[in-house]
């Protein structure tokens, strides 16, 4: 309560509110579309590493079998 710097009191209030506005969004759940997207990107990358011989590569955009796809690629990377 006893902030000596008068000049920064408004400044501080503004920053506190900015943080609150920002944090409100931070607490929202991230929509599934982003996890799906990351899984797709990973799958695509793994497929690319392994060469064009991976048959699932083209069907990845249609199916959302993310876990299977990313696990399958794991061994092929190295």
Residues that bind another protein (CB under 8 A): 1, 3, 6-7, 9-11, 13-15, 17-23, 25-28, 30-31, 33-35, 37-38, 41-42, 45
Considering the complex, what minimum distance in angstroms separates the CB of residue 75 from another protein? Answer: 17
* Nearest CB to another protein, comparing residues 7 and 52: 7
How many angstroms separate the CA atoms of 56 and 68, rounded?
11
3-state secondary structure of 78: coil
First to last CA, the chain: 59
How many angstroms separate the CA atoms of 39 and 35, rounded?
6
* Nearest CB to another protein, comparing residues 6 and 53: 6
* Nearest CB to another protein, comparing residues 33 and 51: 33
């Amino acid at each position: 309560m006893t902030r000596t710097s008068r000049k920064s009191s408004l400044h501080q209030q503004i920053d506190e509110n900015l943080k609150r506005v920002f944090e409100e969004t931070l607490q929202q759940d991230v929509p599934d579309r982003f996890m799906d997207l990351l899984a797709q990107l990973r799958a695509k990358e793994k497929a690319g590493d392994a060469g064009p011989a991976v048959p699932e590569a083209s069907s990845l955009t249609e199916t959302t079998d993310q876990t299977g796809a990313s696990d399958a690629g794991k061994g092929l990377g190295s």
